[in-house]
Structure 1
Amino acid sequence: MIEGVAPSVWIAVVTIAALLIGFGLFLGRGGPRDARGRRQFRLRPMRRLVGLLLLALACVSAMFAVTLYQFFRLTADEPVARIVLRQQAPRQFVATAELPGKAPEDYTLRGDEWQIDARMVRWRLPALLAGVPPLYRLERLSGRYTDPAADQSEPRTVYALGPAGMPDLGALKQRFPGWLPFVDVQYGSGAYMPMFDGARYRVFVDPRGALFIRPEDAATQDALKQRGW
């Protein structure tokens, strides 16, 4: 693996190669030349079939590359989000979230704590031995209650953070299991922390594929200690 080249780039290269070869085999004339040197069209079933299979492979690879492009490469403990909280009412807060590649956005959360979830892409052998880094994609931001009974009876707030309308790796793997032998996407990670007015947090992902949260400033850290965190 060449350092700094994302897996989606390699998949895109394979997709383009399969697309060009597939079109050449499926649409090419492939027959003998006439007196003017032009190839004559002949129906060659095996040639057309191989071209059609390559075109199908290119379509599946393109879907995989687009889906994988949604994910971010992970090579070290990496800050992936910043959350600032403002209290509006009892158990109601406005969370200003700064996420990679997006402008800051406000989310109204209800509860005692906030939670963020991510989908992780962990590679299997031999991709793991080749040094392919894990990937992540932030998926949800939600409010939660300390008491499980309150979680069942009080209003819940959940927001999608990932891009909508795009193919999901899990769905692609279930539909085309033979094409994705080195990808393990059945893995999620989440972390939560208390909500209080003025709290500031940083969300990180470590290379092993786990989300964790740290207070961003001393005031938040002191407030967490007072609350037993």
Structure 2
Amino acid sequence: MDWSTWLRMPMTVLLVLAAVFLLITLVQLVVLRQHLHGGRRLAAMWRALLCLIFFALALLLGGTGYALRGYRLLSEETPVVDIDAHILSPQRWALTLTWPDGSTRQVQVAGDDWNIEAIVLKWKLPALLSGVPPLYRLDRLSGRYDDATQEASAPRTVISFDHADDGFDLLDLHKQYPDWLPEVDTLYGSGAFLPLVDQGHYTVSLMRTGALVARPDEATQQKIGQPFGG
């Protein structure tokens, strides 16, 4: 993963800031010790207060960064993932997911279509006016059957992209403690799906509005038999 990708992740920025404040805390502790040895108690009390403030900021930034792992900044149109499909048997597919940073993942889904969903976070007016962009993270990929009856009874496949195995995630925090995150305006889901074809190649992007857009390449579109995307 290159530096440009890391910098588009709010987790990275917040954890770096947390490390900076932690370093400042250590510096203040050294100065505090010097004041104590020198008998300057008033100056030592002031340094102790600064230590507490900087350490609290480091904990706050570190905890927030950890809760935002998996989220990325949302620009005008952000490439999310490329999907390559290969048929294994009727209604059984192998998918290769390729992220913008070059990492890949192999999964299998059942159905006639693939369906991908993302979670989008938007901010309230003060944060919005200050230029804080929306955040997003992929939530899940699943197979989808064209026939509604089959959709209700046939085997389903759902692949999770959830990074919060321990339950410590911004989405969970906002649901359980909404007053803790007053600047969060909305947390909502966005999804897109396209028919699966053998040797199909698809690109998925997320618009700044929060809408997922899925597009097949030209060869895949011809196999599907009708235009999609736009």
TM-score, structure 2 as length reference: 0.75
Show CA shifts across 1:177-202 (max 9, x none): 34422123521111111112122111
1:183 is matched with which residue? 184
The separation in 2 between residues aligned to 1:131 and 1:40, in whole angstroms, is 43
Alignment match, 1:165: 165
CA contact under 8 A between 1:170 and 1:185: conserved in structure 2?
A: no
Cα RMSD after superposing both structures: 3.8
Percent of aligned positions that are identical: 38
CA 49–145 in structure 1, closer or farther in 2 if over 3 Å, else same: farther
1:19-38 Cα distance to aligned partner (Å, 9 max, x none): 6788869xx68x9x79xx32
Indicate if the aligned counterparts of 1:114 and 1:195 stay in contact, CA closer than 8 A. Answer: yes
The 3 A distance-change label for structure 1 pair 53 and 228 is: closer
Cross-structure match for 2:225: 225
Post-superposition CA distance 1:112-147 (Å, at most 9, x none): 110111111211111111221112111211101112
Distance 1:196 1:118 in 2: 23
Name the CA shift for 1:228/1:97 in 2 (closer, same or farther; >3 Å). Answer: closer
CA distance in 2: counterparts of 1:17 and 1:175, whole angstroms: 30
**Compared with structure 1, are the counterparts of its residues 197 and 98 closer, same or farther at alpha carbon in structure 2 (3 Å cutoff)?**
same
Detail structure 1 runs of 4+ shifted over 4 Å in the superposition. 5-25, 47-58, 226-229
TM-fit CA distance, 1:163:
2.7
CA distance in 2, matches of 1:101, 1:82: 11
**Farther off after superposition, 127-136 or 111-120:** 127-136
Residue 66 (structure 1) shift: 2.5
Q: Which structure 2 residue ranges, 5 or more long, are not aligned?
A: 1-6
Q: Give CA-to-partner distance per residue, 1:76-97, whole Å, 9 cap, x none.
A: 2122111111111111111111
Distance 2:17 2:95 in 1: 42
Q: How has the CA–CA distance of structure 1 residues 209 and 227 changed in structure 2, closer, same or farther, with 3 Å as cutoff?
A: closer
- 1:48-63 equivalences under 5 Å are 58-63=58-63
Query: Counterpart of 1:76 in structure 2: which amino acid?
Result: E
**What is the identity, as a one-letter code, of the residue corresponding to 2:78?**
E
Higher-helix-fraction structure? 2
User: Structure 1 residues 216 and 67 mapped into 2: Cα distance closer, same or farther (>3 Å)?
Assistant: farther
Aligned match of 1:76:
76
| Alignment match, 1:197 | 198
1:66 aligns with 2:66: yes
1:118–1:182 Cα change, 3 Å: same
Structure 1: which 5+ residue stretches go unaligned?
A: none
Structure 1: distance between partners of 2:228 and 2:215: 15
Task: Give aligned pairs, total.
Answer: 219
Letter in 2 for 1:90: P
Partner of 1:140: 140
CA distance in 1, matches of 2:108, 2:223: 21
Aligned position for 1:101: 101
One-letter amino acid matched to 2:146: T
CA distance in 2, matches of 1:223, 1:120: 32
**CA distance in structure 1 between the aligned counterparts of 2:12 and 2:90, rounded to whole angstroms:** 48
